[in-house]
Structure 1
Amino acid sequence: MSRIIKIPYGKHSSQFGVLRIPDSKEPSRIIVLIHGGFWQSKYDLEENNPIAEDLTSRGYATWNIEYRRVGEEGGGWTGTFNDVIDAINYLSKLNKAYNLDLAKIDIIGHSAGGHLALWAVSRTSPVHSELNFNKLNVPIKKVLSLAGVTDLNNMWEYHEERGMKSVVAALMGGSPKEVGERYKVASPIELLPMSTHHVLVHGELDQHVPVELSKDYYLKAIEKGCYVNLVVLPNVEHFKIIDPSSIAWESVIDIVLDKEKPS
Structure 2
Amino acid sequence: MRPLLFSIALAALALTGCEAPTETRPPESTSKSEEAPMSLMTWKDLLTRERPSTAHHIRTGPGTSNVIDLWLPDGKGPFPVVIMVHGGCWQKSIADRTLMNFAAEDLRQRGLAVWNIEYRGVDEDGGGYPGTFEDVARATDLLRDYADEYNLKLDRIAAMGHSAGGHLALWLAARPKLPRSSPLWSETPLHLDLVVNSGGLADLEASAPVTQEGCLASIMDVLTGAPSGQRPDVFSDTSPAAMLPFAARQVSVNGEQDRIAPPILGKHYTKKAKAAGSAASFIQVPDTGHVELIAPGSEAFEMEAALLTEELKR
Q: Structure 1 length normalisation: TM-score?
A: 0.89
1:248 equivalenced with 2:300 (yes/no): yes
1:208 equivalenced with 2:260 (yes/no): yes
1:123 equivalenced with 2:205 (yes/no): no
Off by >6 Å, runs of 4+ in structure 1? none
* Code of the aligned partner of 1:27: P
Would you say the 8 A contact 2:193–2:247 is kept in 1?
A: no
Where do 5+ consecutive residues of structure 2 fail to align?
A: 1-52
In structure 1, the residue corresponding to 2:121 is in which secondary structure?
A: coil
1:78 equivalenced with 2:130 (yes/no): yes
Identity of aligned residues (%): 35
Where do 5+ consecutive residues of structure 1 fail to align?
A: none
Farther-moved stretch of structure 1 (30-39 vs 181-190): 181-190
Distance in structure 2 (CA, Å) of the matches to 1:192 and 1:64: 25
The aligned counterpart of 2:270 is: 218
1:24 equivalenced with 2:102 (yes/no): no
* Code of the aligned partner of 1:208: I
1:257 equivalenced with 2:257 (yes/no): no
Which of 84, 87, 94 is the aligned partner of 1:36? 87
1:112 equivalenced with 2:164 (yes/no): yes
1:195 equivalenced with 2:237 (yes/no): no
* Deviation for aligned residue 1:128: 5.0
In structure 2, the residue corresponding to 1:185 is in which secondary structure?
A: coil
Question: Which protein has greater RCO, CA pairs closer than 8 Å, 6+ apart?
Answer: 2
The aligned counterpart of 1:10 is: 61
Residues matched between the structures, number: 255
The aligned counterpart of 1:138 is: 190
The aligned counterpart of 2:286 is: 234
Would you say the 8 A contact 1:38–1:168 is kept in 2?
A: no
- Over the aligned positions, Cα root-mean-square deviation in angstroms equals 2.4
In structure 2, the residue corresponding to 1:104 is in which secondary structure?
A: strand
Would you say the 8 A contact 1:112–1:149 is kept in 2?
A: yes
The aligned counterpart of 1:88 is: 140
In structure 2, the residue corresponding to 1:63 is in which secondary structure?
A: strand
* Code of the aligned partner of 1:203: G
Would you say the 8 A contact 2:211–2:261 is kept in 1?
A: no
| Cα distance per residue 1:25-78 (max 9 Å; x no partner) | 230001110000010021100110000010001111111100011111111111
The aligned counterpart of 1:183 is: 235
Farther-moved stretch of structure 1 (6-15 vs 185-194): 6-15
* Deviation for aligned residue 1:133: 3.5
Would you say the 8 A contact 2:133–2:184 is kept in 1?
A: no
Would you say the 8 A contact 1:236–1:248 is kept in 2?
A: yes
* Code of the aligned partner of 1:52: A
Would you say the 8 A contact 1:41–1:72 is kept in 2?
A: yes
Would you say the 8 A contact 1:102–1:139 is kept in 2?
A: no
| Cα distance per residue 1:83-139 (max 9 Å; x no partner) | 111101001110111110011211000000000011111111642524344455322
